[in-house]
């Protein structure tokens, strides 16, 4: 079904729209407004250079920008400064004037772009979102300088050191060595007594209700990851959960990973995986390839391995995408177990996933600690062809 859209020119009462129609209409109008604003700002350097506002009731470019487009003086100053840097890069300058690339994105790379690498930077600016571009520049510059990338701050780290939710008391106390002391000291259930009106529970039931108090120390980043894990669980379940439920879910994931590792070891001993052949169903029916769905035990193992965070070294952003480093489009004819091999799937944040799909990562199929940011895409790899299709598809959406 095609998206619904109502323009202001249409004689339809907005109050009569369904929630979906109202949302889609507002979303499209907002997108058009952003595009128009970018195009207007892009024209300001030309307006200033030609003094096109003179004799038209405007005394300066700042007055024109404010009254016509609602653009502040600070933005106008920055746009004019960006334009001055683009004298030797006419292609990129024209992209600015047409509003095809926003001035703020160009500003972030204007000290690095020149006539020789202009086309390469235009491709990055067009294909990478602003956040992905910022991450790419940060990681690439730190890589050149041989520095450890700056850790992303997480909202989880700003949580109060004392939280009481769902009757569960959670305390965090700073101690020497940049560690955090975690204590869970709550909800102690009294054992059954003969005076109780209910029948005596079984021995297993009594054991199940026994409580123990654990006190242990964790590094602050691990404590933050644990809080993040709880937050993700609450988001998935759409309800608040206790720390006991968090630990139960954590244990299930560990047990699932252990079972999966046992299966992998058994396959290695018997050589079963090495003898596996491409999926016969896919060979007989090429229109029915292996599904993109990643099995739950694989996702759980990856979440446990990387703590729910992006696999890119030193990135502390939550992972939101499971990425096939061998590219699903190149392996979908194989058996599901080979396509979804956890050794070739990495959880990533959205900015790093965008960088990877611009073929700007070297050693992608090896451990993420060896990944290297590239200055230019690896156009010789098979991945590059797939990535170009992914980029084209996303631009159509």
Q: What is the 3-state secondary structure (H, E, C) of 331-373?
A: HCCCCHHHHCCHHHEEEECHHHHHHHCCCCEECCCCCHHHCEE
CA distances from 264 to 257, 273, 293 (A): 10, 9, 20
User: Is residue 216 located within the same domain as residue 304?
Assistant: no
Top mean pLDDT of 56-60, 169-173, 264-268, 380-384 is at: 56-60
| 4, part of any domain | no
What is the structure's pLDDT at 257? 66
What is the structure's pLDDT at 8? 54
CA distance 302 to 341: 11
Of all residues in the chain, the percent with pLDDT exceeding 90 is: 27
User: Is residue 317 located within the same domain as residue 237?
Assistant: no
Q: Which residues contact 303 (CB under 8 A, 6 or more apart)?
A: 253, 319, 347
| 128, part of any domain | no
Top mean pLDDT of 88-92, 290-294, 309-313, 390-394 is at: 88-92
User: Is residue 165 located within the same domain as residue 252?
Assistant: yes
> Do 127 and 358 contact (CB within 8 A), yes or no?
yes
CA distance 255 to 43: 60
| pLDDT tens string 195-251 | 444 454 444 444 444 566 777 788 887 888 888 888 877 776 667 778 877 887 777
User: Is residue 177 located within the same domain as residue 254?
Assistant: yes
CA distance 178 to 53: 59
Confidence class of residue 96 from pLDDT cuts 50, 70 and 90? very high
Find the mean pLDDT for residues 38-52: 94
Q: Has residue 277 got a pLDDT over 50?
A: no
| 136, part of any domain | no
Structural domain span for residue 334: 289-396
As given in the structure block, the two tokens for residue 7 are 């323009």
**Of the ranges 39-53, 60-74, 135-149, 254-268, which one carries the lowest mean pLDDT score?**
254-268
pTM metric for this prediction: 0.57
User: Is residue 262 located within the same domain as residue 297?
Assistant: no
> Do 224 and 318 contact (CB within 8 A), yes or no?
no
| 140, part of any domain | no
User: Is residue 211 located within the same domain as residue 305?
Assistant: no
The residue with greater pLDDT, 19 or 200, is 19
User: Is residue 312 located within the same domain as residue 383?
Assistant: yes
- The residue behind tokens 């294909």 is 127
Q: Which residues contact 359 (CB under 8 A, 6 or more apart)?
A: 374, 377, 378, 379, 381, 383, 384, 387
Confidence class of residue 383 from pLDDT cuts 50, 70 and 90? confident
| 212, part of any domain | yes
| 101, part of any domain | yes
CA distance 157 to 180: 11
User: Is residue 247 located within the same domain as residue 335?
Assistant: no
Q: Is the dihedral of CA 16, 17, 18, 19 positive or negative?
A: negative
Which of 64, 97, 119 is the endpoint of a domain?
119
Find the mean pLDDT for residues 309-324: 88
User: Is residue 213 located within the same domain as residue 182?
Assistant: yes
The residue with greater pLDDT, 9 or 88, is 88
Confidence class of residue 189 from pLDDT cuts 50, 70 and 90? very low
Average pLDDT, the chain: 75
**Of the ranges 76-80, 180-184, 266-270, which one carries the lowest mean pLDDT score?**
180-184
Angle made by CA atoms 326, 331, 335, in degrees to the nearest 5: 125
- The residue behind tokens 């701050």 is 153
User: Is residue 231 located within the same domain as residue 315?
Assistant: no
User: Is residue 314 located within the same domain as residue 377?
Assistant: yes
User: Is residue 18 located within the same domain as residue 83?
Assistant: yes
The residue with greater pLDDT, 283 or 323, is 323
As given in the structure block, the two tokens for residue 185 are 């000291």
| pLDDT tens string 127-167 | 998 999 999 998 888 888 775 544 444 443 333 333 333 33
What is the structure's pLDDT at 148? 52
Which of 119, 146, 179 is the endpoint of a domain?
119
What is the structure's pLDDT at 168? 38
What is the structure's pLDDT at 259? 65
Find the mean pLDDT for residues 116-127: 92
The residue with greater pLDDT, 188 or 387, is 387
| 198, part of any domain | no
Top mean pLDDT of 66-80, 183-197, 239-253, 286-300 is at: 66-80
Contacts 24+ apart (CB under 8 A), 370-375: 371/312, 371/313, 372/143, 373/136, 373/139, 373/140, 373/143, 375/120, 375/140
> Do 134 and 108 contact (CB within 8 A), yes or no?
yes
Into how many domains does the chain fold? Answer: 3
The residue with greater pLDDT, 46 or 20, is 46
- The residue behind tokens 């060896």 is 370
| 97, part of any domain | yes
What number of other Cβ atoms are within 10 A of residue 284's Cβ? 8
What is the structure's pLDDT at 204? 43
């Amino acid at each position: 079904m095609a998206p619904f859209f109502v323009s202001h020119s249409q004689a339809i009462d907005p109050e009569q729209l369904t929630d979906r129609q109202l949302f889609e209409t507002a979303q499209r109008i907002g997108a058009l407004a952003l595009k128009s604003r970018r195009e207007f700002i892009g024209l300001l350097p030309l307006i200033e250079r030609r003094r096109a506002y003179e004799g038209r009731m405007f005394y300066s470019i700042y007055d024109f920008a404010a009254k016509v487009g609602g653009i502040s003086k600070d933005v106008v100053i920055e746009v004019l400064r960006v334009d001055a840097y683009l004298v030797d890069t006419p292609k990129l300058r024209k992209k600015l004037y047409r509003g095809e690339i926003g001035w703020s994105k160009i500003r972030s790379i204007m000290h690095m772009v020149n006539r020789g690498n202009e086309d390469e930077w235009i491709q990055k600016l067009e294909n990478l979102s602003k956040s992905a571009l910022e991450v790419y520049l940060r990681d690439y510059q730190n890589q050149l300088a041989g520095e450890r990338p700056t850790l992303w701050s997480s909202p989880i780290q700003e949580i109060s050191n004392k939280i009481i939710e769902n009757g569960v008391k959670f305390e965090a106390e700073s101690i020497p060595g940049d560690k955090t002391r975690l204590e869970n000291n709550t909800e102690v259930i009294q054992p059954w007594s003969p005076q109780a009106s209910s029948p005596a529970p079984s021995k297993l039931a009594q054991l199940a209700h026994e409580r123990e108090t654990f006190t242990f120390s964790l590094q602050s980043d691990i404590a933050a990851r644990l809080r993040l894990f709880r937050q993700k669980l609450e988001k998935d379940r759409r309800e608040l959960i206790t720390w006991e439920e968090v630990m139960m879910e954590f244990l299930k994931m560990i047990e699932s990973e252990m079972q999966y590792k046992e299966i992998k070891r058994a396959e290695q001993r018997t050589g079963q995986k090495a003898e596996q052949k491409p999926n016969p169903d896919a060979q007989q029916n090429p229109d029915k390839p292996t599904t993109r769905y990643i099995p739950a035990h694989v996702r759980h193992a990856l979440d446990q391995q990387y703590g729910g965070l992006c696999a890119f070294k030193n990135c502390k952003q939550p992972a939101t995408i499971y990425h096939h480093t061998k590219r699903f489009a190149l392996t979908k004819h194989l058996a599901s177990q080979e396509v979804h091999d956890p050794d070739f799937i990495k959880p990533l944040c959205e900015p790093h996933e965008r960088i990877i799909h611009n073929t700007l990562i070297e050693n992608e199929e090896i451990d993420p600690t060896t990944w290297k940011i590239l200055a230019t895409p690896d156009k010789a790899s098979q991945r590059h062809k797939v990535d170009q299709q992914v980029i084209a598809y996303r631009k159509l959406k």
